[in-house]
Amino acid sequence: MCGIFGYVGSRKDAGKIVIDGLKNLEYRGYDSWGVASKVPDGLIVRKDIGKISTVDTATFEEESELAIAHTRWATHGGVTQLNAHPHLSEDRTIAVVHNGIVENYAALRDELITKGHTFLSQTDTEVIPHLIEEELRKTGDFAAAVRNACLRFDGRYAILAMHTASNTLVAARTGSPLIVGVLHNPETPDDYGYFIASDTPAFRKYTHIVQYLDDGEMVVTDGKTIIFSDIQTGEEREKREIEITWEVEEADKGDFEHYMLKEIMDQKESVARAANQDEVQIQTLAEAIKNAYGTFLVGCGTAGKACMAAEYFFSVVANKHVNYAPASEFKVYHHFLTDRSLLIVVSQSGETADVLEAMHVAKSKGAKVLAIVNVQGSTISREADYTLLLNAGPERAVASTKALTGQLAVLLLIAYALAGKLKEGKMLLMETSSMINDMLNPRYVDRLSNLAERIKEHEDLYIIGKSWHYPMAMESAIKIQEVSYVHAEGFAGGELKHGPIALIEEGTPCIALMGKDEVTNDMLSNAMELKARGAFIIGVAPENNPVFDEWIKVPDAKDAQPIVSIIPIQVLSYFLAVKRGKNPDMPRNLAKSVTVK
């Protein structure tokens, strides 16, 4: 869940390049940061706790053609300057940045200490450069030393190692993502090099051309040449160059103060883009579900709530039973899997560790995998049998907004295709997109801002929903928790009276998510039960009702109701964070892409 970036090539400002690119990866971790640059007399290492966005790029003035950088989300060791990456070998000729976990680091560390190595940090990462150093003494070849070291690691990781003596950059991955950016233009032969990063925004201003490092592979480059190979066997791999299409401006905040608000507003268009899928492909996937002997939906966090809502989509729209399981729990389902099973996985990043593990469990039983992701070329998209892209555009805020509504749109579209009503489903989603555009007007946003002002001092908040609004109630709680740090919980409407209603006091804010459907009257009764205990009822619904103390109007979107119902909660969460003095783009203890288990 850390950000990794490295450059080697003809340019003389490698330190500035990597620190500038690292700022575009801060959403992947912002506990601490660090940079190592090769200079004529060795290495310059700078690292500190805090956010990389506050660092002045202009201070990196040293001439350098090779540098690596890292922004950290801590797993092993506290947030300190010593624990920040990069970490160095004993002789300071090797620097390493790392994403993931070396699960057997304690045994490796003990072994290296007996050989005279001294460790300065509490991290698992520090064993990597020291072990590479030991292997280099045996082989004399840096790439071989990195490979031999990798063969001894347990766990999922991505590493980037630089060597001052050979001016070489080596990357290796098993689980965590790494992408190569290619800077080789025949029209400017003197300007060349390679970038290696955990995500494309790091180098997007320099090149549109990428090469993907697959799981279990490593890459070696001196800036002029590049060699991909299998970590286990050393066998070289051919890689094609791929052009990525989204523009830098899509990932900028523009006139918005935060990415989160910008991405909420992007939903005026992103839902329509998600719904604009190739009809033949959607029909093919619907047939795969129809013919499968057991279909499972798998996701984590927000994507998991989209999967939960899809259980209702398939039931209500297509009269089809589909099972949901959190990705982290899915491996216990292996008893039920066969080669006729189908796994539908949902992930914004396409790199979620628990989802990848679920895929491997399914594939070990011969099951097929359908992936719904937002990042083209991601690991999940490459390993799946079928892939659908959300087309939401880059999502930089840690709290997922437009990716969620894109996931809901794609899953609802598949349910309609399974029911033989694909065109009807696409039309519904296009109408819903138009409704969202009308809903997200300045007056509406201001009203939600004012509501956030009224309830910002409350430390507890509850959300209820039934049917597909039940998972949206749980998703609402996630949004409020992660950006404002208010204690929020989502419940099925009828479950509060079975225990949690004991928590309701005079004035406790409670949000009721409703549509115009078969459970509306039940939800009104549940809201009344809360109000009778003193709750302040915020109704998110197409129609007002006397039980509401505050009514947030949403369109009547029929089967797409969860999409329009969650958006005002996203806006409310944003303003709760801002009014409580929190940064909604960078919530504490969280990172955008969860690439560790």
Residue 387: its H or E element: strand 386-389
3-state secondary structure of 235: coil
Find the length of the chain. 597
Which member of 2, 150, 300, 510 is catalytic?
2
Side-by-side strand order, sheet with 323-326: 323-326, 295-299, 342-347, 368-373, 386-389
Give yes or no: 2 in active site: yes
| pLDDT tens sequence across 131-190 | 999 999 999 999 999 999 999 999 888 899 999 999 999 999 987 778 999 998 878 888
Residues 175, 200: contact at Cβ < 8 Å? Answer: no
Instruction: Answer whether residue 594 is part of any domain.
Output: no
Within a 10 A sphere around the Cβ of 41, how many other Cβ atoms? 7
Distances in Å between the Cα of 75 and the Cα atoms of 1, 83, 102, 419 are 9, 10, 10, 45
User: DSSP labels for 253-310?
Assistant: -TT-SSHHHHHHHTHHHHHHHHH---HHHHHHHHHHHHH-SSEEEEE-HHHHHHHHHH
Report if residue 595 sits inside a domain.
no
3-class state of residue 135 by DSSP? helix
Q: Are residues 502 and 514 in the same domain?
A: yes
Task: Give Rg (Cα) of the chain.
Answer: 25
The CA-to-CA distance between both ends of the chain, in Å, stands at 10
Instruction: Kindly state whether residue 592 falls inside one of the protein's structural domains.
Output: no
Per the structure, the count of domains in the chain is: 3
Supply the pLDDT for residue 177.
79
Distance (Å, whole) CA 319 – CA 299:
22
d(CA 36, CA 7): 11
Choosing from 38, 239, 305, 592, the catalytic residue is 592
**In the structure encoding, which two tokens stand for residue 372, read together?**
């719904």
Classified as helix, coil or strand, 554 is coil
The reported pLDDT for the residue numbered 33 is 85
Does 596 fall in a domain?
no
d(CA 461, CA 145): 54
Instruction: Give mean pLDDT, residues 273-298.
Output: 93
Q: How confident is the model at residue 248 (pLDDT cuts 50, 70, 90)?
A: very low
Overall average pLDDT of the 88-102 stretch: 92
Instruction: Give the span between the Cα atoms of 19 and 302, in whole angstroms.
Output: 30
Based on the fold, state whether residues 257 and 142 are members of the same structural domain.
no
152 inside domain: yes
Q: What one-character DSSP code corresponds to residue 86?
A: P
**Greater pLDDT, 77 or 597:** 77
- Helices 267-275 and 422-439: crossing angle, nearest 10°? 170
**270 and 308, same domain (yes or no):** yes
- Contact between 436 and 269 under an 8 Å Cβ cutoff? The reply is no
- The pLDDT confidence band at residue 494, using thresholds 50, 70 and 90, is confident
CB 282 within 8 A of CB 426: no
Which pLDDT belongs to residue 570? 98
Q: What is the mean pLDDT of residues 265-292?
A: 92
pLDDT at position 466, please? 96
The encoded tokens of residue 184 equal 């080789």
> Is cis: bond before 86, omega within 30 of 0?
yes
More confident residue, 595 or 300: 300
Per-residue pLDDT of 351-405, as tens digits, reads: 888 999 999 999 999 999 999 999 888 889 989 999 999 988 888 888 999 999 9
Predicted local distance difference test score (pLDDT) of residue 57? 78
Tell me: do 331 and 450 sit in the same domain: no
Select from 440, 470, 488 the last residue of a domain.
Answer: 440
Q: Which residue type occupies 560? A: A
Same domain, yes or no: 76 and 217: yes
Alpha helices in 64-203 (DSSP H): 105-114, 127-139, 142-150
Query: Same domain for 177 and 136?
Result: yes
Residue 528 has pLDDT above 50, yes or no: yes
Q: What is the pLDDT of residue 28?
A: 63
Per-residue pLDDT reduced to its tens digit, 6-23? 999 999 999 899 988 888
CATH number, domain of 569, equals: 3.40.50.10490
Domain limit, last residue, from 388, 410, 440: 440
Helix (H) or strand (E) holding 386: strand 386-389
Res 491 pLDDT > 90? yes
Residue 27 has pLDDT above 90, yes or no: no
Backbone torsions φ then ψ of 148, nearest 5 degrees: -60, -35
Q: What burial class does residue 82 get, using C-beta atoms within 10 Å of its C-beta: 0-12 exposed, 13-18 middle, 19+ buried?
A: middle
Find residue 243's DSSP bridge partners. Answer: 209
pLDDT band at 499 (very low <50, low <70, confident <90, very high): confident
Does 258 lie in the same domain as 220? no
Whether 97 and 15 map to the same domain: the answer is: yes
Q: What are phi and psi of 449, to 5 degrees?
A: -60, -45
- The sheet with strand 87-88 has its strands ordered as 87-88, 94-100, 157-163, 168-174, 217-221, 226-230, 236-237
pLDDT at res. 591: 55
| 47 assigned to some structural domain | yes
249 pLDDT tier (thresholds 50, 70, 90): very low
- pLDDT of residue 74 exceeding 70, the answer is no
**Residue range(s) defining the domain that contains residue 56:** 3-244
User: Mean pLDDT lowest for which of 99-103, 126-130, 249-253, 369-373?
Assistant: 249-253
Is residue 90 scored above 80 in pLDDT? yes
* Residue written as token pair 């209702």: 312
Q: Is the pLDDT of residue 307 over 90?
A: yes
Averaged over 506-515, what is the pLDDT? Answer: 96
pLDDT over 70 at 76, yes or no: no
Question: 452 or 242: which carries more pLDDT confidence?
Answer: 452
Residue 250 binned pLDDT confidence (cut-offs 50, 70, 90) = low
Are 160 and 97 spatial neighbours (Cβ–Cβ below 8 Å)? yes
pLDDT at residue 592 tops 70 = no
Assess whether 415 and 507 both reside in one domain: no
CB burial class (10 A; 0-12, 13-18, 19+) of residue 152? Answer: middle
Catalytic residue at 150? no
Percent of the chain with pLDDT strictly greater than 70:
95
pLDDT digits (tens, 9 = 90+) for 154-168: 988 889 999 999 999
Q: Does 593 fall in a domain?
A: no
Instruction: Give me 108's structure tokens.
Output: 């490796």
378 within some domain: yes
What are the pLDDT digits (tens) for 557-568? 999 999 999 999
Taking residues 335-342, report their average pLDDT.
92
Average pLDDT estimate for 462-474: 97
Among 186, 211, 244, the domain boundary falls at: 244
Average pLDDT of the segment spanning 34-44: 91
Say yes or no: 413 and 486 in one domain.
no
Task: Give the residue among 65, 60, 51, 131 at the shortest CA–CA distance from 98.
Answer: 131
**In CATH, what number is assigned to the domain containing residue 144?**
3.60.20.10
457 and 324 within one domain = no
Strands 487-492 and 386-389: unpaired
Q: Are residues 34 and 179 in the same domain?
A: yes
How much is the mean pLDDT over the chain?
Answer: 91
Q: Which pLDDT score, from 0 to 100, does residue 247 have?
A: 52
Reading the block at residue 61, the tokens are 């003035």
Structure confidence by residue, pLDDT tens digits, 192-235 = 999 999 888 889 889 989 998 888 999 999 999 999 999 999 99
